[in-house]
Amino acid sequence: MSAPPLGKYLASTEKHIRDKAIKNLSVFLSDDTRDAISKSAMDKLWKGIFYGFWMSDKPLVQQALATQLADLVLTISTTSASLAFLRGFWEMIVREWNGIDRLRIDKYYMLVRRFVNASFRLLIRAEWTKSECDEYNDILMAPGGPICPSDIKVPASLAFHLADIYVQELDKAIGSASSSTPVPLDTVIKPFLILAARTHASATYKRIQSALLDPLFTALAGPVEEQPPTSKRPRLAMVTNQEDLYPNILCSSCFEDPKLEGKVDGPVLRKKLLRSIFEVASQPETRDSNRRKMYTLWKDGADEDVEED
């Protein structure tokens, strides 16, 4: 089924016209009786949405529109249709990213952040069902996705931004939800582990470790007493304010199976995730230079666990 011809209205310079288009699109996407939107229609729809956001000017207008657009993900009644809508979003972002000028890039960073948060709220609503999580990860990692390890067209700055915000937005989404289903952390971060393993760019690996993995392991390690380092090697993920990092993740996470595992304590979960890093590093697709870095990350974490015991 074709999407309604809203593109030119979403791209309007008049706010009241854009707002009406958002409302009509929300009604359309919420219609349980419609057929699936074709890929060509989805591409046209997202092109219109992209330029509609392009034309938004004042910061408060931009923030409101970004929230409205992201919340469309949650107005759709079925998770599969929401995921199709998200696939259209990410494919559009990857296609258009390099054409965004420096004066507009910040608002698109904000838009990406809003959609990451909405995506997590969608998966929370679906109770982290494995099939939905796997499909979402496929959206991110497939050719045309924002963290596809084999697609050279994916802008590095987009992957960097996702590494910066991903776990932050997960923690916010958990905090805003009423669900008690634990988050399968290994499933959530697995696309970044695979990207870290297979990327050709050392800067990408470095950003994933420094912005995503190190802070997460810091939080999962639990509070520690300050003490002099026992070696010249800097301690992995050890700072004095662990309790301030990702409090909602610490209260509601497991490794990979929420129903089977229930909530898993941070230090135990940290050991499991370190083991997952080792396993990804051992895969034949992992680049040798990245394998060495991941083995070092795993070994440093394992050594610290021994020291603490």
273, amino acid identity: L
309, amino acid identity: D
- The one-digit pLDDT tens for each residue of the chain (309 residues) are 555 566 667 767 677 887 888 888 888 877 777 777 888 888 888 988 898 888 887 888 889 889 989 999 998 878 888 999 999 999 999 999 999 999 999 999 999 999 999 999 999 999 999 999 999 999 999 999 999 999 888 899 999 999 999 999 999 999 998 888 999 999 999 999 999 999 999 999 999 999 999 999 999 997 655 555 555 444 444 444 555 789 999 999 999 999 999 999 999 999 999 999 999 999 999 999 999 999 999 999 886 765 555
CB 95, CB 145: distance < 8 Å: no
Spans of all domains in the chain: 1-132, 180-225+232-309
**Separation of alpha carbons 227 and 122, rounded Å:** 42
**Separation of alpha carbons 205 and 120, rounded Å:** 24
